Amino acid sequence: MVSRIERGPVANWFWTIDRFLLLAFIILIFLGFMMSFSASPSVAERINLDGSHFIKRHAVFMIPTLAVLVSLSFLEARMVRRMSILLLLGALGLMLLTLFIGGEVKGSRRWISLFGFTLQPSEFMKPAFVIICAWLFSERSRHPEIPGNLFAIILFGIVAALLVAQPDLGQTMLVTAVWASMFFLAGMPWVWIIVLGVLGMVGFAVAYTIFPHVAGRIDRFLTGEGDTFQVDTAREAIIRGDWFGRGPGEGTIKKILPDSHTDFVFAVAAEEFGIIFCLVLVAIFAFIVLRSFVHAAREEDEFTKLAVSGLALLIGAQSMINIGVNLELLPAKGMTLPFISYGGSSMLAIAISVGFLLALTRHRPEKRARNHVVRRSGSMVSSVTE
């Protein structure tokens, strides 16, 4: 155990970090590793790979994931902003490059190979985008002469255009929802609410008209007609699992579910470990989001308030979309369940989001003391002038 008396960086980190949030994320990481044993062997065998292929790769990705998560949680807010600028510029550059040299999978260009590794740049863009937008919105409130809102809108337009060009409308909707929520929390004027609401509806109509796969997914969701094999199979797995599941490794639906280790890992968890286990997963994600909101509500710094809220919304909304698709409450969309689904880019990108979140929610007594002194000084000046 680290002593409170010690003043080293690790001791300061241990006593200032939200250990409950940290524990929740670590539990998710190890539950994801556990689920790789259940969900991935059948997928590996189906594509003529060794049964433990994805398990080994998941284990390998866990090491940098934990390292990134912990190391970023040491940062001060200033360093979080600086790193986010570099990460955002790099991710946007790679997203643009992906449109030209990225591999095409199912009609989309979202992946790029660099130095033997395959990356999805849009995953790394998301946490940096949230941080930079939080900074721009907060600068607008601190310095009215700086058009922070306008810059945030321009940045959102660039990100949305690159995502639509891939095309990846699921990520576009996720980013839009998080960005709009942050704009609202930053004090969005009613005129902007109306304008963005109208633009959102127009964008949805255009996407439905231009992209046949989007129209097909929405039509299948609304009518139940067409190729609904994956979502129907996922629902069947959840039903068969009942409350306590069929037992580890005893699931059968995963053998015919193409994306059982990624998009539909929640359904595999339900079949083998039961609805109770899935409710525990949902409770962990809910705890993370709500505890982050509590931190944001107590925070006096506008940037930190918006950044913590945005990162929590990013994690919560992505979880909700994945679980909603598995439960057939939302149209089918390929989106990972944070730390539970297999995927190196997803795990590392979420680790960055979590590292930033833990860094910004750390308890800093010296900062609160300074704020208290400033407030007292202001009160004393006011009384003297009176």
Q: What's the pLDDT tens digit per position in 67-120?
A: 999 999 999 999 999 999 999 999 999 999 998 887 777 667 888 887 777 888
pTM over 0.85? The answer is yes
pLDDT tens digits along 324-368: 988 888 887 778 899 999 888 889 999 999 999 999 999 766 554
- Tokens standing for residue 144: 């009215």
User: How far apart, in Å, are the Cα atoms of 167 and each of 2, 18, 116, 335?
Assistant: 49, 38, 24, 14
Which amino acid is located at 29 in the chain? I
Which pLDDT score is estimated for 386? 42
Spatial distance between the Cα atoms of 154 and 359, rounded to a whole number of angstroms: 27
Domain boundaries, the chain: 30-73+86-363
Q: What is the CA radius of gyration of the chain?
A: 22
For residues 62 and 333, the model is more confident at 62
